[in-house]
Amino acid sequence: MSNINLPTEKGHEKLSDCARDLYAVMQVCLFYNCTVMGRPPCCDKSNVKKGPWTPEEDAKVLAYVANHGIGNWTLVPEKAGLNRCGKSCRLRWTNYLRPDLKHDAFTPQEENHILVLHQAVGSRWSLIAKHLPGRTDNDVKNHWNTKLRKKLMKMGIDPVTHKPISHVLTDFGNISPFPNSRNHADPLNGFVNNFMPKPEASVVTTEYAIPTMLSRPMLEEVQDNHFGNNYVWENAETSFQVTNQEISSPLTSLASCHITDLSSPQSLAWQSSLLQSVQSSSSGWNDFLLSDLSLLTDLEQQEEPKAQGMVVPSSCPPVPVQNEKCENNFSEGSSSSAVDSFVDSILNQDKEMQSEFPQIFSDEYFNY
């Protein structure tokens, strides 16, 4: 607004009544530093303090919340005697001052949790944070951007698709108008992540899973006559064998994060049938994921987790699974049970964390 060239005294006389009224409004707005259209700012940003919070300011917020609880944050600065924007106060509380927050380093279990959830829902940080008691969306986001994303890339895994970058590039080459995508995409600068077209359902790609492998190097990549490439990671008790299941798209995440033993016949059948159910439906991957997200949110309000165990549609034979067989027998309703199953897996992992860290699951941590 301050850059607008207002009419001169002489020009002002030539304005119509309507334009003069508008000009008057603009002058008032300039005076009060607000806008003509749209919502006025939540506070006078030119007069509020920004930047790091002092212990005194923190104490004022804490005292206010202790006395009044959490309510209208726009009133907090005035009532608490702070020269801050209400939004800033809310952020300070939710991201730092909340008594239930953990301020120590992320545990390997938490990192695995983040990986699995990110693989499933992407950068829905708040959703992921809800499954990590004591962590905020900001915490999770920062940890992902500074640590986990780099770790994955160091391992040659695309942090968006959670697939090896070489195979992402191969997929990209298969569906790209460019004959050799490697000449056009540097995997480290995010080009592939941001601009890679979504594969068609008929495009065959590979499926991988990352959970619990973060700190362990990939041992070997072996060819399998039935399934294509297998990837084996070192693990304390056993090795993870992740198998090519001709799955294309983010849904691979749903399958892989759900199942502990990915190489089991049930697992492979489940993954394959899950894929088929979605591929055969009219809606796309995004719709499927969105429906999953809403289910996930709904389930967070439930007290009792559903029964454990994955859904293996009876119509699907054990591995090796031929796509056609499943596709023909898989009903439209099956995708919802697959989603339920995925949600079950998340809840089961919560239970595991609960048993590992009972103290952070106590009620008091959620009563804020």
Partner DNA sequence: AATATCCGCAACCGCTCCGAC
Partner DNA sequence: CGTCGGAGCGGTTGCGGATAT
* Residues found near DNA in the complex (CB under 7 A): 39-40, 42, 45, 49-53, 71-74, 84-88, 90-92, 94-96, 103, 105, 123-127, 137-139, 141-143, 145-147, 150
Shortest Å distance, C-beta 294 to DNA:
9
Buried b vs exposed e over 302-320: b needs ≥16 C-beta within 10 Å? eeeeeeeebbbbeebeebe
- In the complex with DNA, the residue whose CB is nearer, 143 or 258, is 143
As beta bridge partners, residue 291 has none
Residue 69 CA to residue 65 CA, distance in Å, equals 4
- In the complex with DNA, the residue whose CB is nearer, 84 or 162, is 84
Shortest Å distance, C-beta 151 to DNA:
10
DSSP 8-state secondary structure symbol assigned to residue 157: B
Helix (H) or strand (E) holding 340: helix 334-356
- In the complex with DNA, the residue whose CB is nearer, 82 or 262, is 82
- In the complex with DNA, the residue whose CB is nearer, 72 or 282, is 72
- In the complex with DNA, the residue whose CB is nearer, 84 or 258, is 84
Shortest Å distance, C-beta 279 to DNA:
26
Shortest Å distance, C-beta 339 to DNA:
19
Residue 151 CA to residue 63 CA, distance in Å, equals 41
**Which residues contact residue 347 at a Cβ distance below 8 angstroms, ignoring those fewer than 6 apart?**
299, 305, 306
Among 131, 132, 136, residue whose Cα is nearest residue 293: 131
Shortest Å distance, C-beta 84 to DNA:
7
Instruction: Assign residue 212 a region (left: φ > 0; alpha: ψ between -120 and 50; beta: otherwise).
Output: left
Contact between residue 334 and residue 277 where contact means Cβ atoms under 8 Å apart: yes
Shortest Å distance, C-beta 89 to DNA:
8
Q: Which two tokens stand for residue 274?
A: 């899950």
- In the complex with DNA, the residue whose CB is nearer, 125 or 330, is 125
